[in-house]
Amino acid sequence: MATLQYAESARRITDAAQIATILAPLGITLQTIPVTGGRAAALLAQPQLDAEAQVALLTALDDVFQRLQREKGYQERDLVVLYPEHPQLPELNARFHRMHTHDDEEVRYIVDGEGVFGFVLEDGAQVELTVQAGDYVHIPADVEHWFRLNDAQRIKAVRYFSARGGWTPHYTDRALQHFPNP
């Protein structure tokens, strides 16, 4: 279940309808797509996945990709696997924990672990959305946002692309506000 928190505040929202209402003016959608067990369960239990195991996990989740291809026209997908011992974790966290936009939509289906997306609302308030397994988030192009891992520093997320080649971040100068630890 996703949780939304406002900057500089202990205010936390867990009601999905209320979260959807807050994020709707930005065009952000959040859905729940249960992660099916079966072939994926053993792969999801592993903290690290080599290239072959990543392909196997993506294949096990093909029903979601095929549905999203039909509905949204996604062309490709990949899998992000981050864990505390990942050799590039500090660099990746620093790269995406800065305010940025993309020319294309950003779409993630969290299949294991947790991550945190941050957004600037229309009134300038900043919020962070903690997502976990089963959460599917769609961020339209040009929406100012950031991403970071939480203290567990572990996530497996399928990224879907409508254009080949992925996303290029366009960093903005807006400062991130302070978010108290939950």
Contact 92, 137 (CB under 8 A): no
Return binding residues for Ni(2+): 100, 102, 106, 145
- Residue numbers in the known binding site for Fe(2+) are 100, 102, 106, 145
Q: Give tens-digit pLDDT for 5-31.
A: 999 787 899 999 999 999 999 999 999
Binding-site positions: 100, 102, 106, 145
Q: Cβ distance 155 to 82 under 8 Å?
A: yes
Per the CB < 8 A criterion, the answer to whether 35 and 157 are in contact is no
Nearest CA among 95, 110, 117, 97 for reference residue 155: 110
Q: What is the pLDDT of residues 80-92, one digit of tens each?
A: 999 999 999 999 8
The token pair at 25 is 């003016």
pLDDT in tens, 30-86: 999 999 878 889 999 998 999 999 999 999 999 999 999 999 988 889 999 999 999
Residue 28 and residue 44: Cα distance in Å, rounded?
A: 27
Domain 3-168 has CATH 2.60.120.10: yes
